[in-house]
Amino acid sequence: MSLSTNGLIIRVNNVKEYDRFISVLTETNGVIRAYVHGARSVKNKNAAATALLTYSNLTLERKKDTYVLKEAAAEKVFFGLQNDIFKLTLAQHFCELSDVLAPENTDSKEYLRLILNSISYLENDKRPQKLIKAITELRMLSISGYAPNLVACSGCAKFEDDVMYFDTQNGELLCEECKIADRNIIPINKSVLSAMRHIAFSDFSSLYNFTISESSQEMLADVVERFLLSQVEHKFSVLQFYKNL
């Protein structure tokens, strides 16, 4: 069975002497994993189109539990990432995130749209890196079934206060009166709470259209990352590398 689709190359592993094994985030089939024979040869016509962080049109053939790439053509290469180690590493973190959270064999338009837009914003400096990181992580968690309860305090239903507390383990809000000391709670201000609600619930067309202070960006990035790590049992190696830069 043959499949023709567009997708972003989110993972590349070298196998044997000249081959690759790639993971591709596609619109219609989620994450697809495929062998690319001879892709590491400089003469191979599929080499460039199957490189990491390349958005390509792919023709694949199903072979038992995986695919074999027959032909590929690059549609978009994010050249603006190549000379900035921070941008490149953060984009690779987004790839690892989608490789872990995006489904297989099902519609994944939201995932692909999110990753492509975030990488584009990152490449063109349209938003601060910390903000793009928080937006991508929280939105992807939300569409993957890890959406936090940000509507009101889980104890008394208070909508907001000058300081609320976010429980990273249970993904819920608590007010001053309802907070529980032995939980993994983080104090957040109104600006950060508003940003988290916007990221989790807004229409995609306005997802990136908000601003908060630099200090609130720091707080937002911290709480979202801690929520991610508490919810997903995966060692995000690229994220750790990014933090050590």
Q: What is the pTM of this model?
A: 0.94
User: What b/e sequence results for 143-176 when a residue is b if at least 16 CB atoms lie within 10 Å of its CB, and e otherwise?
Assistant: bbebebebeebbeeebebeeebbbbbebbbbbbe
The average confidence (pLDDT) of the chain is 94
Who wins on pLDDT, 149 or 184?
149
- DSSP-based three-state secondary structure for 1: coil
Instruction: Report pLDDT for 40.
Output: 74
Domains of the chain: 2-77 (2.40.50.140), 85-244 (1.20.1440.120)
pLDDT tens-place string over residues 25-82: 999 899 999 999 877 776 788 888 999 999 999 999 988 778 999 999 999 999 999 9
pLDDT tens-place string over residues 102-145: 999 898 999 999 999 999 999 999 999 999 999 999 999 999 99
Band the pLDDT of 16: cuts 50, 70, 90.
confident
Q: Phi, psi (5° rounding) for residue 8?
A: -100, 130
Question: Quick check: 180 pLDDT over 90?
Answer: no
Q: Phi, psi (5° rounding) for residue 222?
A: -65, -50
